[in-house]
């Protein structure tokens, strides 16, 4: 069956994001090298982010605030002003970074120009809209759904807003937990396109994977061909 609407994730599916966060992490670790070894700093940062998720949600602004908080922790509050400024600058560089599309993305999306495409993305509204604008792909999407969580309830709402049934929806993205599991659970289909860097919050044990209605691709470039196959 042909999907009525194809949902596509943004960060790490259309363009690089996690690699930018990784580079930022490295710079952050160099900055605090005198106070914590990189692994320890990584653990503390992960804890800070987890603790702040309820208040900050996802995105580069919350990430920057969590870096500052973690830096205060590992320096016992003796964080020099120049370091605070350096962390602010790292955060701004993340927000201001040009959008780099993943290989094969432009061709794949353009090949699907006759389909109803919807961008479904988590994170900070303002930053996501900037990235969509910077990607040059905005025109090819019928709409942009920026959601605060990618769970079953959210996908039910997205699908209802599109005026279709879950069975008519196919979601494409790099995150099993956010783009595949909840969509398959509500009766839709999904395509997993793993990104080069895994995000610790998103790892799923193999035993928890659904047994049908989802596929895996090495690159978004393979999407048009896969759709031809599975929609016959």
Q: Which residues bind a copy of itself (CB under 8 A)?
A: 52, 55-59, 61-62, 64-65, 68-69, 72, 75, 77-79, 81-82, 84-85, 88, 91-92, 95-96, 124-127, 129, 143, 146-148, 161
Nearest CB to a copy of itself, comparing residues 61 and 192: 61
Residue 198 Cβ, how far from a copy of itself at the closest point, in Å?
23
Q: Which two tokens stand for residue 182?
A: 């909840």
Nearest CB to a copy of itself, comparing residues 88 and 226: 88
CA-to-CA distance for 107 and 227, rounded, in angstroms? 15
State the burial class of residue 137 (Cβ atoms within 10 Å of its Cβ: 0-12, 13-18, 19+): buried
| CA nearest to 7, candidates 210, 127, 186 | 186
Nearest CB to a copy of itself, comparing residues 82 and 200: 82
Residue 147 Cβ, how far from a copy of itself at the closest point, in Å?
8
Nearest CB to a copy of itself, comparing residues 73 and 167: 73
CA distances from 213 to 53, 90, 136, 167 (A): 31, 40, 31, 10
Residue 61 Cβ, how far from a copy of itself at the closest point, in Å?
4
């Amino acid at each position: 069956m042909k999907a009525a609407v194809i949902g596509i994730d943004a960060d790490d599916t259309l363009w690089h994001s996690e690699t930018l966060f990784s580079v930022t992490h490295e710079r952050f670790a160099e900055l605090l090298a005198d106070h914590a070894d990189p692994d320890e700093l990584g653990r503390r940062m992960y804890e800070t982010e987890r603790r702040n998720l309820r208040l900050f949600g996802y995105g580069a602004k919350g990430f920057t605030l969590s870096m500052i908080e973690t830096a205060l922790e590992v320096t016992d509050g003796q964080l020099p002003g120049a370091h605070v400024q350096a962390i602010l600058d790292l955060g701004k560089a993340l927000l201001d970074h040009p959008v780099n599309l993943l290989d094969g993305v432009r061709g794949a999306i353009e090949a699907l120009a006759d389909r109803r495409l919807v961008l479904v993305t988590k994170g900070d509204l303002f930053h996501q809209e900037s990235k969509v604008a910077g990607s040059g792909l905005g025109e090819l999407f019928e709409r942009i759904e920026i959601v605060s969580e990618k769970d079953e309830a959210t996908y039910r709402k997205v699908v209802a807003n599109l005026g279709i049934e879950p069975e008519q929806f196919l979601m494409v993205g790099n995150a099993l937990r956010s783009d595949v599991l909840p969509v398959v659970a509500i009766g839709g289909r999904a395509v997993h396109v793993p990104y080069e860097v895994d995000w610790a919050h998103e790892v799923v044990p193999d035993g928890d994977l659904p047994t049908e209605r989802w596929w895996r691709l090495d690159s978004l470039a393979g999407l048009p061909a896969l759709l031809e196959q599975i929609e016959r």
